[in-house]
Amino acid sequence: MNDKGLPLHGSHGSTHPSSVANPEVGQMASGLDALVGNLERVVVGKRAALDLAVTVLLAGGHLLLQDVPGVGKTILARALARSIGGTFKRIQATPDLLPSDITGGMVYDAGRGTLRFVPGPLFANVVLADELNRATPRTQAAFLEAMDEGQVSMEGTSHALPQPFLLMATLNPLEHHGTFPLPEGQLDRFLVSASLGYPQPNDEVEIIARQQLTHPLDALQAVVAPSDVLRWQRQVRAVRVDRSLMEYAVAVVTATRTHQEVALGASPRASVGLVRLAQAWALRDGREFVLPDDMKRLAAGVLAHRLVVRSRTVSAATVIDDILASVAVPVLAG
């Protein structure tokens, strides 16, 4: 991991006795390289974060970014939507935001004399919920069905969201006045929590240089289509996961529930998410099988935001490092 706790891409060249060369997987890896490379045109010096965001998209999950303002969270969301040829909507969370401002609602159609559903900003491929903790708990809850089921229900009718669907939510960890902390149940719906962090000085100079005349986002073009992403998401589910690795994922998650420093451990949703993200990471790396290192690399991003730690002097990341050091790693058969 780098100094921001993000997994570093790169187990290229990994071999496994049971691996079988698959041209389709190699082609997909090339497409994903092109996608990440396209994102790097506007998000400078954050390769690890870009790899992680793309992997979350492949896994069909949602991403929580806990960061200071101005480090590129909105640009990342916009660039990802544009790079996959998808639609983008931004929701600025405020205390007066209503659930219907997010999901949409029923309006009277005078011409037909009936009510009809008008979709809200949730109906996009990539949705940025900016400063989600500024919304009231009732409004925060309006995101849950969309995150879980990819749909919005209104007046007994379900309305499917565009696919693929990725919710990126941001939290400003430094401001607490007028905020409503996300409940554990909502945090559990985010597959990964991460931080972009400040750029390195050289990267910050490059950001300035690239924006002298126009913003590079203005010229960004799609390099893949939403249909490509949906096909890749189906391939993720076919990535081989040895049963011993499933047991390892469960052992790591179970250890969060019994650790002395943890008041509330991770749920079974975390176990499923860790395995699915590892499958997506393997495909991102051009493999059709998951390695133990995949799960170790991704565990902190999947688990840290789901834990309630007893003491302010111990971080969730420290707890996870302790658990990973204590849980035996399976040895895959040749």
Mean pLDDT of 236-264: 96
Please report, rounded to a whole number, the percentage of residues in the chain having pLDDT higher than 90: 76
> Are 170 and 301 part of one and the same domain?
no
Question: CA torsion 18→20→25→27, rounded to 10°?
Answer: 150
> Are 334 and 224 part of one and the same domain?
no
Closest C-alpha among 189, 298, 185 to residue 249? 298
What total number of domains does the chain contain? 2
Q: How far apart are the C-alpha atoms of 273 and 118, rounded to whole Å?
A: 32
Q: Does any domain span residue 4?
A: no
pLDDT of residue 3: 42
Mean pLDDT of 130-147: 93
Q: Provide the residue range defining the domain that includes 140.
A: 22-232
- pLDDT confidence band for 305 (50 / 70 / 90): very high
For residue 159, CA distances in Å to 100, 118, 164, 241 come to: 14, 10, 15, 33
Question: CA torsion 121→182→159→82, rounded to 10°?
Answer: 40
End-of-domain residue from the set 199, 232, 265: 232
Residue 139 has pLDDT above 60, yes or no: yes
Give the least confident one: 23-32, 63-72, 130-139: 23-32
Region label for 114, one of left (φ > 0), alpha (ψ between -120 and 50) or beta (otherwise): beta
DSSP code string of 17-74: TT----HHHHHHHHHHHHHHHHHHTTSTT-HHHHHHHHHHHHHT--EEEE--TTSSHH
Residue 2 has pLDDT above 50, yes or no: no
- pLDDT confidence band for 4 (50 / 70 / 90): very low
Mean pLDDT of 121-131: 96
pLDDT of residue 244: 96
Residue 310 has pLDDT above 90, yes or no: yes
Mean pLDDT of 140-163: 93
Mean pLDDT of 117-138: 94
Q: Does any domain span residue 7?
A: no
Give the least confident one: 51-60, 73-82, 100-109, 161-170: 100-109
> Are 277 and 160 part of one and the same domain?
no
For the beta sheet containing 126-130, the strands, ordered from the edge strand earlier in sequence to the opposite edge, are 88-92, 126-130, 166-171, 63-66, 192-194
Q: Does any domain span residue 11?
A: no
Give the least confident one: 52-56, 79-83, 180-184: 180-184
Give the least confident one: 79-93, 153-167, 178-192, 231-245: 178-192
What CATH number did the domain enclosing 250 receive?
1.10.8.80
> Are 140 and 221 part of one and the same domain?
yes
> Are 107 and 172 part of one and the same domain?
yes
> Are 119 and 207 part of one and the same domain?
yes
pLDDT of residue 294: 96
Mean pLDDT of 103-118: 87
- pLDDT confidence band for 21 (50 / 70 / 90): low
Strand-strand pairing, 308-309 and 262-264: antiparallel
Mean pLDDT of 56-68: 95
Q: Write down the mean pLDDT value for the chain.
A: 90
